[in-house]
Amino acid sequence: MEKVTIYRTIWRWHFYASLFVMPLILILSTTGAIYLFKPQLDRWEERAFSNLSTDRSVSPNVQLAAVIAANPGAQFQSYRLPDRKGDAAVIHIGLADGRSMRDVYVSPQGKILANVDPESRISATVSRIHGSLLIGKIGDWIVELAACWAIVMILTGLYMWWPRGQRLEGVLWPRLGKGNRVFLRDLHAVIGFWVSGLALVLLATGLPWASVWGDAFRIARTELGLVHGAQDWKSGSGAPHEAHDHDAMMRMQSSGVSLVGLADIVAKAEAEKLPHPVLVKPPGAPERFGPPTPMAWTVKSEAQNRPLNRQITFDIATGKEMSRTGFADKHMIDRAVNYGIAWHEGQLFGWFNQFVGVVTALGLITLVISGFLMWRRRKPENVLGAPSMPSVPHKMRGVAIIIGIMALLLPLLALSLLALWVFDRFLLPRVPALAAWLGVKPAYPA
């Protein structure tokens, strides 16, 4: 009897967790699957700026001068090297209003081809939907909360899937010939098992970017002295820095180094054969996740396969190399997080990583659809249709310990559990009709 009541309790947790995260899993799985193909999407969006004639090519200095002349008051922030011969260069500028950014595509001959808001790109829009549902900080919190409860959903689902003496049929693959109801249940359980590990990896590798968890992680690392260099991923309030060292930029520009030096540094960057995209940044240009580099040119790769990235700085007066850092120079924790980010974005192992990511997304979407159909088939009229509460007391110490550990590791989960307790303790006793619809017997009846 105790095993039955524990199972039913776990089932209720699984039901409520799933009900909350199902719509968000559909959104996150779809947008995540699309974002896996960011390099291909970006290349497709830039198709009009590829395979251009290279006759009468001009230097990067002339390209930059054309961009600044066409955008009075703009600040030069980076020069992206063409990926292939005949591709346009991309010069990233901050407009005179101090807020807006533009990617300016420049032909090999120095002609401006397009002036694009980088936030309008397909991959950037998909990323904002995936990370914040297009509603800013609140959306960021909702996505993180959904990730926390998705972990609860997966762990409780694995408990329910766990074989209890039955054959492999219905455990590792669905049973056929047993009717639609059995097949649907088996499909849900089997796919849940096969994608659970991959889904947990995706959820775990996404947490360093999350608002609350990311801030807590960053603070803990700082307090424990586990930071080595600037963090190179967004987390919590540690959003892109985007600060300028205006003094350094003015000194560089007033000395004329910006136009004289750019072509020299681009030539050095081309010789390095770094993974695309390769950026050349002038002194004082903003860094996304750290302070500007004063009085030095910076050449860096920002490939999504992060272990391949390197950064080199050059003296603005002599052009001599000042420093060179690579993936191996990062702190062990930074390397682990960056491996996870590269996997999460589908770029760690090329097309195989993308394939696994798509399979995981399709599996999660199938779980949502099959779970919804199962719920609708068994849902009575006029109630939510949650599994009934156990009718006898049972020991739940093990479950409580697991929930306590998860709450310690996931701050938003802990806050949501506290909110649920307050809801159950103070609201449900006063609204019996709501309690009946939810299928919940209030812990403290009025």
Question: What distances in angstroms separate CA 123 from CA 35, 40, 118, 257, 262, one per listed residue?
Answer: 6, 10, 10, 34, 29
Q: How many CB atoms lie within 10 A of CB 219?
A: 12
- What is the tens place of the pLDDT at every residue in 103-136? 999 999 999 999 999 999 999 999 999 999 999 9
- Do 323 and 348 lie in a common domain? no
Handedness of CA 231, 234, 236, 242 (dihedral sign): positive
pLDDT tens figures, 359-379 = 999 999 999 999 999 999 988
The better pLDDT of the pair 347, 293 is held by 347
**CA–CA distances in Å: residue 168 to residues 160, 161, 164, 176:** 15, 11, 11, 13
The string of pLDDT tens digits covering residues 273-328 is 999 999 999 998 887 766 666 679 999 999 999 999 999 999 988 889 999 999 99
pTM exceeds 0.75: yes
Judgement on whether residues 69 and 217 belong to the same structural domain of the protein: no
Mean pLDDT of all residues in 89-104: 95
Give yes or no: residues 5 and 142 share one domain: yes
Neighbouring CB atoms inside 10 A of 392's CB total 8
Query: Has residue 312 been placed in a domain?
Result: yes
121 located within any domain: no
In a domain, 130, yes or no: no
More confident residue, 253 or 56: 56
What pairs with residue 299 in β-bridges? 280, 312
Q: What is the mean pLDDT of residues 181-208?
A: 95
> What is the mean predicted confidence (pLDDT) over 56-77?
96
Whether 237 shows a pLDDT value over 80: the answer reads no
pLDDT over 90 (residue 167): no
pLDDT higher than threshold 90 for residue 232: no
Q: From 301, 328, 355, give the residue that closes a domain.
A: 328
More confident call, 395 vs 59? 59
44 within domain boundaries:
no
The answer as to whether 391 is a domain residue is yes
**The pLDDT of residue 444 is above 60:** no
Residue 446 has pLDDT above 60, yes or no: no
H helix or E strand, kind and range, residue 298: strand 296-301
**What is the extent of the structural domain holding 358?**
1-22+136-228+331-446
Asked which of 304, 328, 352 is the last residue of a domain, the reply is 328
Q: What percent of the chain has pLDDT over 90?
A: 65
Whether residue 30 is predicted with pLDDT greater than 80 in this model: the reply is yes
165 and 282: one domain?
no
Is the model's pLDDT at 47 over the cut of 50?
Answer: yes
Is 30 part of a structural domain of the chain? no
Same domain, 61 and 16: no
Taking residue 203's Cβ as centre, other Cβ atoms within 10 Å add up to: 18
286-to-182, 249, 367 alpha-carbon distances in Å: 58, 10, 43
- Residues 294, 392, single domain; the answer is no
Mean pLDDT of the chain: 88
**In this structure, are 436 and 379 located in the same domain?**
yes
H or E stretch covering 92:
strand 89-94
pLDDT digits (tens, 9 = 90+) for 215-231: 999 998 888 888 877 78
**Domains in the chain: how many in total?**
2
Q: Which residue has the higher pLDDT, 5 or 141?
A: 141
106 three-class SS: strand
Q: Say whether both 413 and 372 belong to one domain.
A: yes
Angle at alpha carbon of residue 167, lines to 166 and 168, rounded to 5°: 125
Do 252 and 395 belong to one domain? Answer: no
Which domain-ending residue is among 306, 328, 350?
328
Same domain? For 336 and 424 the reply is yes
Residue 416 covered by a domain: yes
Residue 271 and residue 217 share a domain: no
Look at residue 61 in the predicted model and tell me its pLDDT: 95
Q: Residue 49 falls within a domain, yes or no?
A: no
| 208 and 295 part of one domain | no
Residue 306, pLDDT score: 96
pLDDT at 403 over 90: no
